[in-house]
Every structure is written in C-alpha cells, then in structure tokens.
Amino acid sequence: MARPHHPEFDKKKVVAENRRARFDYAIESTYEAGIALTGTEVKSLRFGEGSIAESYAEVKDGEIWLINSNVPEFSHGNRFNHEPKRPRKLLLKEREISKMFGAVARQGMTLVPLSIYFNGRGRAKVELALARGRKAPDKREYQKEKDWKREQGRLMRQHG
C-alpha cells in the first residue's frame, strides 16, 4: 500500500526557497522529490548555502533533472569538490515522472522548484511544483487579491 501524501511536507530545515515562483506561476500541484547529491554538496547545503532562484526542472530520457540550481563549493572541500551549477537528478516514482511529462508536453506546464530542505530524517528534498505561467494582468490580479486578504485580516484583528 502506498504511503499517503500530506499536503504540507515535513520540512525541518529550509535551505533555499524560490519566493518569486508563487508570484510568477499559478501552482497546480506540488511533489516532494529527493536529490542525487555528492558529499560536498550535502555539506554545503547543511551550512545553509544554495540558491534555486533561477532554476527549473526538465524531463529528459524518463528522468527529471534540476537545472541551473547553485550549490556553492564546500569551503573545506579538496580536489573532490563539486561543480556548483551542475544538473542534479531528482528522485521520483515512475508514475509521478510520467504524470509530469504528460502535463509538460500536452498542457504546456512548467516544473518549478519551490524550495530545497532537509526532512525529518535528514534527507535533502526538493519541493517541485507543476505550474502554469502567469501573464502580467494575472499577476496584478493575484497581487490585488493578496493585498485584500492581508487588509481583511488586519480589519478582523482590529474590530474582532
């Protein structure tokens, strides 16, 4: 029996977050994926270094790759240090990969990494979103809605 997926993943330590992604994209669904990392990459991430601001994911040969994510070289690493912007393989189930591939190919959606974090067991994970790009008017509408919700909360607190 498959283990149930929780709407909120068990994030113990968030290393990198792509905050702009929620503004630029309308997020349809999110997935938790493992990352295939080398030793010095893990150490660098544990120190809180890393960026996914300009990164994206793509499906190649039945595998999903995280492209353009930056994990700086480990300061105490020697000649076995890693390349900072290398493509990293994401670890997902076959069914999830095929679902993502279908959505990207047929519906014109994008795979956007939202955050890199360490879960409760100490494993590095990526929160990956299947998203549709927003146009400028949609972004303005999203911003208005967000501001109104913030204002509503403020009014409710004041006039309780």
pLDDT tens for 62-103 read 899 999 998 888 877 777 788 888 999 999 999 999 999 988
Determine, yes or no, domain membership for 57.
yes
**pLDDT(5) > 70:** no
Determine, yes or no, domain membership for 152.
no
**pLDDT(52) > 60:** yes
Q: Residue 34 — very low, low, confident or very high, per pLDDT cuts 50/70/90?
A: very high
Host domain of residue 123: 13-133
Phi/psi-derived region of residue 47, left when phi > 0, alpha when psi is between -120 and 50, beta in every other case: alpha
**pLDDT(1) > 60:** no
- Report the domain count for the chain: 1
> Tell me: the pLDDT tens digits for 102-156?
888 888 889 999 999 999 888 999 999 998 888 888 888 888 988 999 999 999 9
| Distance set, CA 50 to CA 5, 19, 139 (Å) | 26, 14, 27
Q: Residue 22 — very low, low, confident or very high, per pLDDT cuts 50/70/90?
A: confident
Determine, yes or no, domain membership for 122.
yes
**pLDDT(4) > 70:** no
Determine, yes or no, domain membership for 158.
no
Determine, yes or no, domain membership for 108.
yes
CA triple 109-115-116, angle to 5 deg: 125
pTM of the model: 0.80
Question: Quick one: pLDDT at residue 108?
Answer: 81
Q: What is the 3-state secondary structure (H, E, C) of the chain?
A: CCCCCCCCCCCCEEEEECCCHHHHEEEEEEEEEEECCCHHHHHHHHCCCCECCCCEEEEECCEEEEECCECCCCCCCCCCCCCCCCCEEEECCHHHHHHHHHHHHHHCCEEEEEEEEECCCCCEEEEEEEEEECCHHHHHHHHHHHHHHHHHHHHHHHHC
How many residues does the structure list for the chain?
Answer: 160
